[in-house]
Amino acid sequence: MASKKNLKKNVNYIIGELFTECWVQYKYVSGTNKEEAKNLMTKILTIHNDFISRISHPQPGNIKGFYQKFHSDFNKQVNELIEEIGKLS
């Protein structure tokens, strides 16, 4: 298992890239629904806070299962966000 510090860095990097992509769509791509982009950026930040909090406070007991679920949930959320960013324009 990777350290919590490295896991947080990875989450921060991925979420940062998604937020940047959404911001670029909002700011520079004509035909983008501005309101949906703002809502999506808010959603991205909420997801970021949720996953960082989950890393900081793992459930006691089944740590391996906790992090397996964490990875599957995070990957699912990232894929959903990528699809939503694609639908902005």
* Res. 2: pLDDT tops 70: no
Write out the two tokens for 82. 């990528």
Q: Residue 33: count other Cβ atoms within 10 Å of its Cβ.
A: 14
pTM of the model: 0.90
Mean pLDDT, to the nearest integer, of 33-38?
A: 94
Q: What is the mean pLDDT of the chain?
A: 93
Q: Residue 85: count other Cβ atoms within 10 Å of its Cβ.
A: 19
Following CA atoms 76, 35, 88, 13 in sequence, which dihedral angle do they give, to the nearest 10 degrees?
-50
Which pLDDT belongs to residue 60? 84
Q: How many CA atoms lie within 13 A of 55 on its CB side?
A: 19
Mean pLDDT, to the nearest integer, of 53-73?
A: 90
Q: Shortest CA distance to 22 belongs to which of 54, 47, 5?
A: 47
Which pLDDT belongs to residue 57? 87
Query: Domain containing 53: what range?
Result: 4-86
Q: What percent of the chain has pLDDT over 90?
A: 74
Mean pLDDT, to the nearest integer, of 81-85?
A: 95
* Res. 1: pLDDT tops 80: no
Q: How many domains does the chain have?
A: 1
